[in-house]
Chains A and B, each alone.
Chain A
């Protein structure tokens, strides 16, 4: 079975300080992992994805994530938060079992303090 745990429901950082959003996954197969961002009243935008290539994945807007198999983690980081980063972030796992579905975490709301 597949599942995703986002360890923090809410993270608050000051503008210009680093961002860390934590994600752990459980999967019976080699997973693909994604981070999506949802701004208020907007759809889900893909930030980055891991698909069994390089373990350090760079995404849009300065975000990156590192796949650590030994820790079953896929934490999202950014060196310096910007006000526009305030949003809901979802960690998602997908597996190649023939099922075309994604498993979402519960989301982390990021607040950026000026």
Chain B
């Protein structure tokens, strides 16, 4: 069964450093998403991406965040200057044209120290 692949599985970074979280969505999917889950809290929507541009973003997705699809297969989330409160599990997801087949990756646990 097709999978969404996320790397790394765990990233530790110092406050103020830039991090890039990587995702390889399912190849024939058209919609791409990032969600995050702070420990003990809800899974929260960050951003959706379609046709090489952001289609929707939440209040969490401020100027410190950016997304990119650099080469037609990878989908990345960049945090420019990490804060302690950015520590969370970050999930990438992709969906097909009908937006009924959301597939999530296994997540990247980001720890900011």
- A and B associate: yes
Measured CB to CB, the residues of A under 8 A from B are 32, 34, 36, 41-46, 49, 51, 90, 94, 96, 99-107
| A104 to chain B: closest residue by CB | B43
Contact across chains for A102 and B45 when beta carbons are under 8 A apart: yes
* B103 on the A face (CB < 8 A): yes
Nearest CB on A from B105, distance (A): 5
Sort A-B residue pairs by CB-CB distance and give the 8 closest, nearest first. A43-B106, A100-B48, A44-B104, A104-B43, A101-B45, A43-B104, A99-B56, A104-B42
Query: A100-B56, A101-B56 given as contacts; is B102 within 8 A of A46 (CB)?
Result: yes
Question: Which residues of B are at the interface with A, using a C-beta cutoff of 8 A?
Answer: 4, 6, 31, 33, 35, 41-45, 48, 50, 55-56, 58, 91, 93, 95, 99-100, 102-107
Q: Is the CB of A100 within 8 A of B50?
A: yes
Contacting pair B100 A32 (CB below 8 A): yes
**A103 nearest in chain B by CB position:** B45
Task: Say yes or no: A43 contacts B45, CB within 8 Å.
Answer: no
Are A101 and B33 within 8 A (Cβ)?
yes
Question: Given contacts A49-B100, A100-B33, are A43 and B43 in contact (CB under 8 A)?
Answer: no
